[in-house]
Structure 1
Amino acid sequence: MPPDASPSRHQRADGAFELAFGPSPRGTALRHLFQQAPLRILFPDPEPGEPPTAAILNCAGGLAGGDALRQSVRLEAGARATVCTAAAEKVYRSLGPDSRIETTLSLGAGAWLEWLPQETILFDGARLARGMRTVLEPGARLLAAEMLVFGRAARGERMAAGMVFDRWRLHGPEGLLWADALDLPDPGRLASPFGFAGAEALATLLLAAPGVEAHRDLLRGMPALAPGAMTLPRPGLLLARWLGRATEVRRAAGAAIAALRAAALEQPARLPRLWTT
């Protein structure tokens, strides 16, 4: 290499989107859209009687070390919307830097949002730093789910190296309602009997809505498709988690989402179409 030549640098993705919905005489309408490659937002026709659906698409096919995504969804008072991903997100093996995802959800008074991305698949050696911050105004409802798969389960790969730091913050009119973080600096803990006991996947589901006590009993009465548990961290907040084989965790989370859509959001008891196509 010539003395004045600098080492080559890897190209990094810096994707973003901003979505805003508001009420209109014909129902919820799109108010604002900004998108920056590699992120794109598609709007498939919703099923009859369902609110607008926004599909997040990563045109790069996945995230490499050093890539960053910024995601923002805002609902005006009374608006309703569903946001999903078009497919599972993939986080590839990193050469050192973290793959970063930051999400902000803002719900106006009486609005409700389904934040239902499909699973995030962590390749062996992936480094993911992800955060989600949600702000709810009075009367707002949120059904949110995230699923992590530790390795490419279909290939029998397990995540043996890398890092995961995944944090959630939920704010309401009276301040912080719930805070949680998964800090996994050493994927070796996945195999520990006092850690994840060899589980392939982890799914988290959060419902903020009135009457969640009855919804907890609903989930507890469903068939146990994967090892899991439900709790009420505080009034108006339901938390469910599943840990186990990737296919079983996805089925369990999917069944819970379908049941809660009907019970808490007055939607058909089925998964969004993007989950099944």
Structure 2
Amino acid sequence: MPRDAPALPSRHQRADGAFELGFAASSRGTVLRHLFQQAPLRVLFPDPEPGEPPTAALLNCAGGLAGGDALRQAVRLEAGAQATLCTAAAEKLYRSLGPETRIETRLTLGAGAVLEWLPQETILFDGARMARRMQAELAEGARLLAVEMLVFGRAAAGERMRAGSVFDSWRLRGPGGLLWADALALEAPGEQLTAPFGFGGAESMAMLLLAAPEAEAMRDLLREAGAAATLPRPGLLLARWLGGASTVRRAVGAAIAAVREGALGRPPRLPRLWTI
């Protein structure tokens, strides 16, 4: 190359991870029917505790996500299948040099299937840019317990998220069409997170979603425990928390244990991955 040729701009290597999981009911209980995984995402299958369905542990081998990284996640439960999905640790989104980190998730539940989507918290470093989209489709009689938690900055280090962006979208569909839609958009997080009529300086936020006939009873139970819980429609419970990261995590953990017992007939405890 001639010495006077212009230098080409450097390009950073980006992660493009994916996984697909498929579970089906059988005479031996729920079994794994399909597995595809692409680095840096990996799925592990620890032995479930007594009384628990098959558990999948989601692991990001890269140790975190940077701007421009992309993840595609898909889970399908056939009719009557049951499963629990957790992350092995909190997910970290580092400061971006410009591009967004894109996370696309699709959950598909057949008739009478039961899925717990229980990732641990996502930690947004100052300057992180996240665009996350969740789509869940439920057939007749399917039940879904889903949790998401965001931490705005590295709370343990005293860091707050002041720059960057967040877009977090949910679409939940049932046999008759759209059941619930929601989206969070933060383009100036430093201002919106501290605004008294915004997030009021909260370090973190969390959401619990339950699609099950027991939704009304669980709403009353969570309200007694201090959660902001409501029924967007019959059979659908939505609970939210704002506050310190440790306080919100403890409250969400207690809610998960209570809802697992009251709505899913499972032991009133967190999945083991949350407590390791």
The reply to whether residue 194 of structure 1 matches residue 197 of structure 2 is: yes
Query: Where in structure 2 are the equivalents of 1:234-253 lying within 5 Å?
Result: 234-253=233-252
Residues 28-48 of structure 1 show CA distances to partners (whole Å, capped at 9, x for unaligned) of 000000000000000011001
Residues 90-114 of structure 1 show CA distances to partners (whole Å, capped at 9, x for unaligned) of 0000000000100000000000100
Deviation at 1:5, TM superposition (A): 4.0
Deviation at 1:54, TM superposition (A): 0.2
Deviation at 1:64, TM superposition (A): 0.2
Query: Where in structure 2 are the equivalents of 1:69-108 lying within 5 Å?
Result: 69-108=71-110
Q: Which residue does the alignment assign to 1:173?
A: 175
1:185 to 150, 172, 187: 187
User: Contact 2:214/2:262 (CA < 8 Å) preserved in 1?
Assistant: no
Q: Which one-letter code corresponds to 2:102 in the other structure?
A: R
Residues 162-191 of structure 1 show CA distances to partners (whole Å, capped at 9, x for unaligned) of 000000000000000000000111112101
The whole-number CA distance in structure 2 between the counterparts of 1:218 and 1:41 is 33
1:24 to 26, 29, 32: 26
Residues 53-90 of structure 1 show CA distances to partners (whole Å, capped at 9, x for unaligned) of 00000000000000000000000000000000000000
Q: Which residue does the alignment assign to 2:57?
A: 55
Q: Which one-letter code corresponds to 1:157 in the other structure?
A: E
Query: Where in structure 2 are the equivalents of 1:3-18 lying within 5 Å?
Result: 3=5, 5-18=7-20
Deviation at 1:49, TM superposition (A): 1.6
SS of the equivalent of 2:35 reads strand
1:161 to 163, 182, 195: 163
TM-score (norm 1): 0.97
Q: Which residue does the alignment assign to 2:229?
A: 230
Deviation at 1:220, TM superposition (A): 1.5
Cα RMSD, aligned residues only: 0.9
SS of the equivalent of 1:196 reads coil
Q: Which one-letter code corresponds to 1:124 in the other structure?
A: D
Q: Which residue does the alignment assign to 2:141?
A: 139
Q: Which one-letter code corresponds to 2:258 in the other structure?
A: A
The number of aligned residues is 273
Q: Which one-letter code corresponds to 2:206 in the other structure?
A: A
Moved over 2 A (4+): none
Deviation at 1:211, TM superposition (A): 2.5
The whole-number CA distance in structure 2 between the counterparts of 1:7 and 1:50 is 52
The whole-number CA distance in structure 1 between the counterparts of 2:154 and 2:214 is 38
The whole-number CA distance in structure 1 between the counterparts of 2:55 and 2:265 is 16
Q: Which residue does the alignment assign to 1:130?
A: 132
CA gap 1:195/1:139 in 2 versus in 1, 3 angstroms: same
What are structure 1's unaligned runs of at least 5 residues? none
Deviation at 1:4, TM superposition (A): 5.2
SS of the equivalent of 2:53 reads coil
The whole-number CA distance in structure 2 between the counterparts of 1:220 and 1:36 is 41
The whole-number CA distance in structure 2 between the counterparts of 1:4 and 1:198 is 47
Residues 203-227 of structure 1 show CA distances to partners (whole Å, capped at 9, x for unaligned) of 00000001311111111222x3xxx
The whole-number CA distance in structure 2 between the counterparts of 1:4 and 1:25 is 66
TM-score (norm 2): 0.97
1:42 to 27, 40, 44: 44
